[in-house]
Structure 1
Amino acid sequence: MGSEILHYRSVEHFFQLLNLDSPRLDGFGIISLADLDVPGNIINQKVTCEFYCVMCNSTDKHLIYGTSNYEQKNGLLSFVAPNQLIIGTEGSNSKDGWILVFSPKFIKNSHFIKDSSLHHLFSYDINEALNANNEELEVINQGIKRMQSEIMRNDEYSQNIISTEIFLLLQNCLRAFNRQFNIKNSSDTNLLAKVDYFLETYYEQNRNLNDGLPNLQYLADQFCLTPKYLSKTLKSNTGIKTTDYINSFIINKAKSTLLVSNKTIQEIAFDLGFSQPHYFTQLFKKFTGETPLEYRKEKLN
């Protein structure tokens, strides 16, 4: 396995490198695994992309997702968000299934962007494929078929209709997700989803460049809660302190940046909101047992 990382710049670039015809809609496509012959130079290749990817795949092999194995038990459903690192091991794609890909721009007006609970599906913390049952899978596959039909229409209504279908498909995936991982549909869980979404958007909107690192007080203020209540709620759902939860998010973000960019440790530290690089290095070592440079060297070699 080489240290080079293949980055798919767009859905169109993805199709091109897989030797597929260009997608009919910009930023959106569905690939049947029956029609896919993965080029040998891509197998076991470290990959990132600029789009969301949902894979339905009947295989007992696994992806390497982030830095952990992502088990695909009888395949079924796997989820990858933009700029997450994956490695498709040999045999991790069967000929039975599909790949759904869509860019953030394609769904910019959809409910998916606003529904923070759906972002759990794409979390690095989930390292097991979604094992949907037959009934759930039938509903999900029907959604794929409707999208395939809409692709052929390809008129002024298609993008909005398909965006809605993506949202419905992910809602059905979330139903299976909650069943599999025994997540309760409660206000506390909804708060956790909102915290995750807030942290994601905090960095997407570059607030860290002006406001620095997010902290407990800042987070509590955003939700009009006391720090004590927020800490108690998050600890009851995650088992860890809020400060550690925030720091864990930051470290996971740092891990991705270390693997997919050539930025220096100083640049990454400032990008994340640290006032001094050595604070970043100390926190990173506390969570991982190694410095950022040691981590990068180990994972890329």
Structure 2
Amino acid sequence: MDNLRRFETINDYNTFNNNETLHPLVSVVDLSKASPRSASNMYFGFYTIFLKQVNCGDLRYGRHTYDYQEGTLVFIGPGQVVSVDSSGETYQPKGHALIFHPDLIHGTSLGRHIQDYTFFGYQSSEALHISERERRIVLDCFSKIEYELDHAIDKHSKKLIVDNIELFLNYCVRFYERQFITRDHVHTGILEKFEHLLNAYFQTDHPQTIGLPSVAWCAGELNLSPNYFGDLIKKETGQSAQDYIQAKVIEVAKEKIFDPGKTVNEIAYELGFKYPQHFSRFFKERVGKSPNEYRMLHDN
């Protein structure tokens, strides 16, 4: 990839932004210390959270301009590349970044649960938009981490740093839940679009050519990341996107079983199952009866 900057270590990114490295595995980066630069694609070998200052109208979601203008949090997991649209102009970075290496959290409670913070897999267009009050909480968490980094390292340092990162991420979970509710105008219709997408899927040859619809495929069709889409559906329906898809498969299967001209094998292939026995097992697990038992029950 052209113009790709790679940051493998915490020190790499600190150096790039003219910040001192106080700890090899974690840093709170003051981006205003960085030299003016032009946009580029960046690879991060560690967890990165940007707290960006946003000017009104800077960020758009589809055709909607964001309504929370005080600040934006963008979450990047290790191994991700962030692409930036570049006009070639130089700019002065602003805001802060919290960066921490996976090695910091190995063997900790946070290390065991880091995959629960699904927003590290969101797209930048699914960023968290925070109010001024929420921004103060974020900066307070950052300042506590900075305090520990400035403090002489002792036996409490690592636990306090990791605990404060975990506290910050837990606040972000709450803020995202608030965003899912308050940004209804952005999300309106996602569930209806999902339902329409699934209905249309089974009226095409997609099941035979692609197989059963996946969460990732549906998310892609709706221009959302799989993680964000999954969390949104869970918030809206109380069930996972996968469960929602499986319920739709059963609904379509029941309709097809009522057609006496179709064998169970034909129905299995029409739905996208590679093997009829997988369909029969799946149906029995969800309905409590095999496809043939269900057909006989409803023929009587």
**CA 1:72/1:3 → structure 2, altered by over 3 Å: closer, same or farther?**
farther
> Per-residue deviation at 1:73?
5.9
Change (3 A) 1:18 1:145: closer
Report deviation, 1:83.
1.1
Query: What residue is the counterpart of 1:49 in the other structure?
Result: 44
Retained in 2: the 8 A contact 1:59–1:92? no
For structure 1, the 5+ residue unaligned runs are 64-70, 184-214, 217-231, 245-301
Q: Shift of residue 110 of structure 1?
A: 3.0
1:103 aligned to 2:106?
no
Percent of matched pairs sharing the same residue: 17
| CA distance in structure 2 between the aligned counterparts of 1:103 and 1:138, rounded to whole angstroms | 24
Q: Which residue of 1 aligns with 2:164?
A: 165
> Which residue, 19, 27, 30 being the options, matches 2:28?
30
> Are positions 1:234 and 2:230 aligned together?
no
**What's 2:2 paired with?**
3
Which aligned pairs between 1:1-301 and structure 2 lie closer than 5 A?
Answer: 3-21=2-20, 23-38=21-36, 40=37, 43-60=38-55, 61=58, 74=69, 75-89=71-85, 96-115=94-113, 118-124=116-122, 127-156=125-154, 157-182=156-181, 233-235=239-241, 240=245
Are the structure 2 counterparts of residues 44 and 121 from structure 1 closer, same or farther at C-alpha, using a change threshold of 3 Å? same
Summarize the Cα distance change of 1:241–1:48 in structure 2 as closer, same or farther, 3 Å threshold: farther
Q: Which runs of 5+ in 2 are unaligned?
A: 61-65, 183-213, 216-237, 250-300
How far apart, CA to CA, are the structure 2 residues paired with 1:36 and 1:113?
A: 30
Distance 1:13 1:241, change over 3 A: farther
- CA RMSD of the aligned region, Å? 3.7
Aligned to 1:76, the other structure's residue is in SS state strand
Decide whether aligned partners of structure 1 residues 125 and 92 sit closer, same or farther in structure 2, where only a CA change above 3 A counts: farther
Q: Name the SS for the 2:2 alignment partner.
A: coil
Alpha carbons of structure 1 residues 54 and 93: separation in structure 2 relative to 1, 3 Å: farther
Q: Distance in 1 between matches of 2:180 and 2:143?
A: 27
Give the Cα separation in 1 of the matches to 2:73 and 2:179. Answer: 12
Quick one: structure 1 residues 36 and 5, their matched pair in 2 at CA, closer, same or farther if it must change by over 3 Å? Answer: closer
Residues 32 and 117 of structure 1: CA distance in aligned 2, closer, same or farther (over 3 Å):
same
Distance between the aligned counterparts of 1:176 and 1:137, measured in 2? 10
Give the match's secondary structure for 1:106: helix
CA contact (8 A) 1:118 1:174 kept: no
Contact kept, 8 Å, 1:59 with 1:93, in 2: the verdict is: no
Greater Cα radius of gyration, structure 1 or 2:
2
The answer to whether the 8 Å contact 2:16/2:34 transfers is no
CA distance 1:175–1:93, change in 2 (3 Å): farther
Structure 2 match to 1:226? none
> Shift of residue 116 of structure 1?
5.3
- Count of residue pairs the alignment pairs up: 186
Output the CA distance in 1 between the equivalents of 2:93 and 2:67: 15
* Distance (Å, rounded) in 1 between the aligned partners of 2:108 and 2:178: 25
Q: What's the CA shift for 1:32?
A: 1.5
Farther-moved stretch of structure 1 (170-179 vs 5-14):
5-14
What is the letter of the counterpart of residue 161 of structure 1? L
CA distance in 2, matches of 1:179, 1:148: 27
> How many angstroms apart in 1 are the aligned matches of 2:67 and 2:81?
17
